[in-house]
Amino acid sequence: MTNTISIGIHDLSLATTQFVLPHTELAGHNGTDVDKYHLGIGQRSMSVPAADEDIVTLAAAAAAPIISRHGTDQIRTVLLATESSVDQAKAAGVYVHSLLGLPSAARVVELKQACYGATAALQMAIGLVHRDPSQRVLVIASDVSKYDLDSPGEATQGAAAVAMLISADPAVVRIDDPSGLFTADVMDFWRPNYRDTALVDGPESVNAYLQAVEGAWKDYTEQGGHALGDFSAFCYHQPFTKMAHKAHRHLLNTCSQDTDADAVGRALQHTTDYNAVIGNSYTASVYLALASLLDHADDLTGKTIAFLSYGSGSVAEFFAGSVVPGYRTHLRTASHREAIDSRRPITYSEYRKLHEHSFPADGGDHPVPEETSGPYRLVSLTGHKRIYEALRHP
């Protein structure tokens, strides 16, 4: 059930944006009953990047506290997962590597498979540490979720990054064997290279997600995984928080278990708190759920947590983690809450202006307005090159 060497999450840190759009603002613009958002999809607000924030600045802000606490000496690999990349060739993690001052003796790779990418990075990191337990791997999930204005997906947008240090003898969560895997070729959500915003078939996306839950769970049980009753909590990928409720209800039904609201609520308690106010963070979503659970739940020492990571298109993985004794002393609960609470609320018109911002493609010198109060910012696009700077280190 476990690796011969205990490997998992040694540290975890999140970052989000400068601005937040309350769903009351969105409802006012749409003339929609706000309960459609608060109750219907389980969202209350969404993080909105400033003009000088993107997946690189978010990733660096999430990872910097980990580097400050643990140093860089044992980090020889950085894996950055995203589906909102800033370049078709250069890995966004290379910019992060530079901003954090990591050693040149390192490999940096960007991974993509919709919202599943960070779990691929986590599993790759475990393999690298298993090969050499003296090394640590920095895994970062960073995304900006963006849909067309006035589209059905607009209310689910969000942005965040979660950074995790993967090591032997982890201090927070041990990742257990086995994994349940599932892949199916579906067109539920996609973003062609020529589009800045994603396309989604809502009903097909829900169906594909539920199919993946069932398939990944079936494989997990066939691989000899835990029984359903062994899990104290379930962290699901959350394109919107009520999707986690749908997914868990489907899993319970698949296992011929009670599917009433109380049973679902107990399994998901505290895992949706951050996602409800940040919105969909794509690759970071399932690990934002973990951060929320660890920061809000009563003592989880020794408890087994289930993870269901889903990426449209589609790939899913079901796996387990065990919470390590003493984990609470390593949490960053106060800084996580500050990152969320310190966002500045904006009006719908301010949000719309940010949403419509784009760089000219002429290769000229295009400075970016200084808006973020975060530690890193995008300074300009010059000669088709993105220029970043560190304002301060967290």
- Rounded to whole angstroms, the Cα distance separating 336 from 134 reads 29
Q: How many other CB atoms sit within 10 Å of the CB of residue 37?
A: 23
Return the active site residues.
Answer: 83, 115, 237
The answer to whether the beta carbons of residues 373 and 68 sit under 8 Å apart is: no
pLDDT, the chain, mean: 96
Percent of the chain with pLDDT over 70: 99
Query: 2 pLDDT exceeds 60?
Result: no
Please state the pTM of the whole predicted model: 0.97
Q: In the chain, what's the furthest Cα-to-Cα distance? A: 61
Q: What mean pLDDT do residues 141-149 have?
A: 97
Q: What are phi and psi of 217, to 5 degrees?
A: -65, -40
pLDDT of residue 171 exceeding 70: yes
3-40: per-residue pLDDT in tens?
Answer: 479 999 999 999 999 999 999 999 999 999 999 999 99
Beta strands per DSSP E along 103-231: 107-111, 136-145, 158-168, 173-183, 189-190, 199-200
What pLDDT sits at residue 393? 61
**How sure is the predictor about 394, in pLDDT bands with cuts at 50, 70 and 90?**
low
Percent of the chain's residues with pLDDT above 90: 95
User: Is the pLDDT confidence value at 296 over 90?
Assistant: yes
pLDDT digits (tens, 9 = 90+) for 59-93: 999 999 999 999 999 999 999 999 999 999 999 99
CATH classification of 7-390, choosing from 3.40.50.300, 3.40.47.10, 3.40.50.1360, 2.60.40.10?
A: 3.40.47.10
Structure-token match 């078709």, residue found? 88
φ/ψ of residue 234, rounded to 5: -130, 120
- Bridge partner residues of 189 (DSSP): 200
Q: What residues does each domain of the chain span?
A: 7-390
pLDDT digits (tens, 9 = 90+) for 343-390: 999 999 999 999 999 999 999 999 999 999 999 999 999 999 999 999
Peptide bond connecting 45 to the previous residue in cis, omega within 30 degrees of 0: no
Q: DSSP 3-state helix, strand, coil percentages of the chain (rounded to 5)?
A: 35, 25, 35
What is the average per-residue pLDDT within 148-173? 97
